[in-house]
Structure 1
């Protein structure tokens, strides 16, 4: 009789455990309604005529193209301080020594050599800062919320109107016009070792070598 009571108690505890998980995932991690509307070149973004007036140009969509090619480099989990140079020693103060400082020297050279074509901005975002939510925000222009956190793993394709879909519908099908690269090494290294580990310095040095060939393409390097 005692064994049966223990088994019933364990079964009840197990039921409460899995019921709590089911209630949490279905009640807290909700899914939001996604809009099915998609913009087109035939529909202006607002009322009235466009001030830049270039819809009639061949291959133009709302405004004329300024560049023939675009290279978009996205380095996942690249903090702003990762891109800062090695801090110089100030007299009377101990030297600042962080393993990750100064490892992206190529960016610093670009900022110095081409000050009119290179900028380093710090973007401040609200949580959640998980990969899927940030990619969704960058490609759709929507604000990521905790509502989407439940689909961060094994997420499906974005159904909303997004940048990639618009690019594939407007760019030429011949030679490439847009190149998008997404590197996850810094993110994985940060999760495993942390930002102050020597492996992070090694990974940043590797990324510094990776982005050097993109300099001739005048790409956009974004830090997230």
Structure 2
């Protein structure tokens, strides 16, 4: 009988049986090669970049009810809109389950676990995540992971990342340094060849919402900044002809008109899942169709195709 949950999950091990001398672990590169050899499935992508734009409502990028976003939002993300219009990206309204706060949403995206409202309390005192999840599975097969941004990731996975630089999510008056602290590493990380998955978690747009709501004068500025990050990442993946990179842009939740979140309203659960990579390109598309998925499925899909 199969079980799941914290009480049944054990980290995979290649060591010997109990009582015998433990065998040394294989280096990550050898683990990754061994996994691919055993699986017999050629990888669709070599690397994954998961970009989390905290609090970004999907309708700011994909519109609502089959209609494109309002002009102000369209003009705030010209590069992203050009990818959608050119059928080089595919976007989904990824419905997030309540509670729509960061920590349980991240856990859901990497594990498929649906949290409860007790997680709202844990959001302020995040503990290491011990349930089975795809980040741990990637690590187990030799993938090196790098994380930049919201330190919630580091609290959930304190020993997982090959490199990390975290920022606190609770200084909500800060809409500048929290994002500059991520982007200052971009040039180095996009040129580096030693990682398989890169997580970028930007907090500034969520903070702008908390300060002034959806109509904050800071909102379009933050969207332009995020659009430039997408442009830089996409350009780097195009220039590196030998590297097949999947860029997945997601939001953990949306926000109400006042910039709040946590509940189950459409505005709070309307999160984004945007896929940019060779398998997402097509000859014909309707970028503003109301394509809907569950957030847990979109996040797990992105991580699975990196592992396979």
TM-score range, shorter chain: 0.5 to 0.7
Within 5 Å, which residues of 2 pair with 1:188-199? 188-199=207-218
Residue equivalent to 2:85? 112
Q: 1:177 aligns with which of 169, 177, 196?
A: 196
Unaligned runs of 5+ in 1: 1-32, 43-56, 86-95
Separation (CA, whole Å) in 1 of partners of 2:53 and 2:35: 30
Structure with greater proportional strand content = 2
Pair 1:159 & 2:130 matched: yes
CA RMSD of aligned residues (A): 2.7
Separation (CA, whole Å) in 2 of partners of 1:156 and 1:41: 23
Separation (CA, whole Å) in 2 of partners of 1:177 and 1:100: 32
For structure 1, which segment, 146-155 or 210-219, has the greater mean C-alpha deviation from structure 2 after superposition? 210-219
Question: Counterpart of 1:122 in 2: which secondary structure?
Answer: strand
Residue equivalent to 1:35? 7
For structure 1, which segment, 185-194 or 168-177, has the greater mean C-alpha deviation from structure 2 after superposition? 168-177
Alpha-carbon shift at residue 188 of structure 1 (Å): 0.9
Q: TM-score, normalised by structure 2?
A: 0.48
Alpha-carbon shift at residue 184 of structure 1 (Å): 1.0
Separation (CA, whole Å) in 2 of partners of 1:39 and 1:207: 36
Alpha-carbon shift at residue 171 of structure 1 (Å): 2.8
Alpha-carbon shift at residue 112 of structure 1 (Å): 2.6
8 Å CA contact retained: 1:70, 1:219: yes
Structure showing greater Rg:
1
Runs of 4+ more than 6 Å apart:
none
Alpha-carbon shift at residue 98 of structure 1 (Å): 6.9
Alpha-carbon shift at residue 40 of structure 1 (Å): 4.8
Residue equivalent to 2:154? none
Pairs aligned (count): 166
Separation (CA, whole Å) in 2 of partners of 1:101 and 1:141: 32
Separation (CA, whole Å) in 1 of partners of 2:11 and 2:75: 43
Unaligned runs of 5+ in 2: 15-32, 64-68, 145-192, 238-244, 252-270, 272-308
Residue equivalent to 1:6? none
Within 5 Å, which residues of 2 pair with 1:80-159? 80-84=58-62, 99-113=72-86, 115=87, 117-159=88-130
Separation (CA, whole Å) in 1 of partners of 2:62 and 2:215: 14
Pair 1:71 & 2:49 matched: yes
8 Å CA contact retained: 2:6, 2:132: no
Separation (CA, whole Å) in 2 of partners of 1:164 and 1:59: 15
Separation (CA, whole Å) in 1 of partners of 2:12 and 2:44: 19
**Residues 139 and 121 (structure 1), Cα distance of their counterparts in 2 relative to 1, 3 Å cut:** same
Residues 3-42 of structure 1: per-residue CA shift (max 9 Å, x gap): xxxxxxxxxxxxxxxxxxxxxxxxxxxxxx7334147599
Question: Counterpart of 2:51 in 1: which secondary structure?
Answer: strand
For structure 1, which segment, 118-127 or 174-183, has the greater mean C-alpha deviation from structure 2 after superposition? 174-183
Pair 1:219 & 2:247 matched: yes
8 Å CA contact retained: 2:104, 2:123: yes
8 Å CA contact retained: 1:111, 1:118: yes
Separation (CA, whole Å) in 2 of partners of 1:164 and 1:97: 36
Question: Counterpart of 2:50 in 1: which secondary structure?
Answer: strand
8 Å CA contact retained: 1:36, 1:159: no
Separation (CA, whole Å) in 2 of partners of 1:100 and 1:172: 37
Alpha-carbon shift at residue 102 of structure 1 (Å): 3.1
Separation (CA, whole Å) in 1 of partners of 2:12 and 2:57: 35
